[in-house]
Amino acid sequence: MGNLILCKTRPAERPYYVPELGIHLYSGEELSYYIYNNLLLIDEKFPDERLFDFLRQIEQDKLEDRIRRMREQGAGLYEILYVILQDLRYYSSAELFSFRKQLEQMSLGGAAARMKAKGDALFSRGKYFSALRIYNQLLSSENREVSGADFASRILVSKGACYARVEDYPEAMRCLQQAYLLNRDSSLPEKMYVLNVMMGRDELPPGLENIVSEEKLEQFRSNLQNKKNLAQYQGKGLEAAALLDKEEPERTEAYLELLYRWKDEYRKNQTT
């Protein structure tokens, strides 16, 4: 059986802005939810004056003092995040226990892996340019993890995916080609072929002709066709298909409205 949770404070007048998601947080509950579900997006700069101002507004002065003391004593980010969730009392003991486990898992990974995970989290939320910034930072850093061919290749593939989502196919192709040169990942030729198709060329990119057989190419074509078919019944395709039942002129109006919403969402996602 569930519970109601009493909201104690009024929404903050100066909300806490989360640039990674392009949203504002207005209450302790929202802050808790953000921390719990977006751990990958939070970095060492999180406990700053903006956060303290927000905590004061939601009547969490004691928590602010506690975090300040913890910072002076050199406490780590994860320790601070745990204390915030504990004090805001939005999550139950069982949920806090699972969060603790998540933090422990995260601490095991290196800094570069965490940064890559942050980029991936931004990508999955549609923040392609923010994700690109993270990948570029990683590639230009002198971290030893990044110098490994496999890891660098994975970053380049992710970077390519970002470019593909913003329809910069030539740049996406360059990223995949670099990634392929690094570790000859066998899954990449198919991705490169799809990019070529997106650029209007139903053929393999130069350099792959000798590597990919005719049969394999046919397989790529068939896979792409299947994905296209499936796309009609998923995500945005499904949203558009749902409007087919409408009569004209309502249908055209609905399509335009949908298109406007998609554009708006896209713009919002890319402005941060």
* Contact positions vs other proteins (CB under 8 A): 1-8, 11, 15, 23-27, 29-30, 33-34, 89-90
Cα separation of 235 and 157, whole Å?
23
Nearest-approach distance from CB 96 to other proteins, in angstroms: 11
Nearest-approach distance from CB 258 to other proteins, in angstroms: 18
DSSP-derived secondary structure for 11-31: PPSSPEEETTTTEEE-SHHHH
* Contact status, residue 27 vs residue 14, Cβ threshold 8 Å: no
State which residue, 98 or 213, has the beta carbon closest to other proteins.
98
Nearest-approach distance from CB 197 to other proteins, in angstroms: 36
Question: How many C-beta neighbours within 10 Å does residue 201 have?
Answer: 11
* Contact status, residue 131 vs residue 109, Cβ threshold 8 Å: no
Nearest-approach distance from CB 128 to other proteins, in angstroms: 20
* Contact status, residue 91 vs residue 73, Cβ threshold 8 Å: no
* Contact status, residue 201 vs residue 186, Cβ threshold 8 Å: no
State which residue, 94 or 244, has the beta carbon closest to other proteins.
94
Asked whether the CA dihedral 46, 52, 54, 59 is positive or negative, the reply is positive
State which residue, 6 or 244, has the beta carbon closest to other proteins.
6
State which residue, 87 or 185, has the beta carbon closest to other proteins.
87
Nearest-approach distance from CB 29 to other proteins, in angstroms: 6
Nearest-approach distance from CB 111 to other proteins, in angstroms: 28
Nearest-approach distance from CB 60 to other proteins, in angstroms: 13
Buried b / exposed e over 249-270, threshold 16 CB at 10 Å, is eeeeebeeeeeeeeeeeeeebe
Backbone angles phi, psi at 162, to 5 degrees: -60, -45
State which residue, 87 or 171, has the beta carbon closest to other proteins.
87
Cα separation of 177 and 130, whole Å?
22
